[in-house]
Amino acid sequence: MNSVLWVVQILLSLFSLAAGWNHGLRPLAEMTQSSPWAADLPVALVRFIGFAELAAGVGLILPAATRIMPSLTPLAAIGLAIIIGLAIPFHIMRGETNVIGLHIVVVALCAFVAWGRFRRVPIRNR
């Protein structure tokens, strides 16, 4: 179970870091080509979402790997689930239903990591 959790954490982290890089660090003109919804939101909100995704990507791995405050790892999973979960109705309202399946899978994987790291196989402090 621990190995499965690590694999899922790594995959979620890579997804979150890629999304965070796109929404938080890329120039707006480039970002709106791959994420057209970003043009309809305030830039500050899009950047906030991007930096939250970057933080989740780091939080899914670093605390658990270093065993320094590993309780932050399931919290990062919950935070990412909230971000992606809130994106689902937003994309439905915009008629962008092609991304909903991926979002549902990501939320489910985040819930699995949160459950696994809180209850099933918690990582202990040093």
In a domain, 125, yes or no: no
Q: What is the pLDDT of residue 126?
A: 87
Q: Give a yes or no: residue 109 inside a domain.
A: yes
pLDDT in the model for residue 26: 96
Q: Which domain holds residue 71?
A: 2-120
126 inside domain: no
Neighbours of 115 (CB within 10 A): 14
Q: Whole-model pTM?
A: 0.95
> Would you write out the chain's pLDDT as a tens digit for each of its 126 residues?
999 999 999 999 999 999 999 999 999 999 999 999 999 999 999 999 999 999 999 999 999 999 999 999 999 999 999 999 999 999 999 999 999 999 999 999 999 999 999 999 999 998
CB contact at 8 A, 111 and 126: no
Within a domain: residue 25?
Answer: yes
- Tell me how many domains the chain contains: 1
The whole-number pLDDT of residue 2 equals 96
**74 sits in which H/E element:** helix 72-93
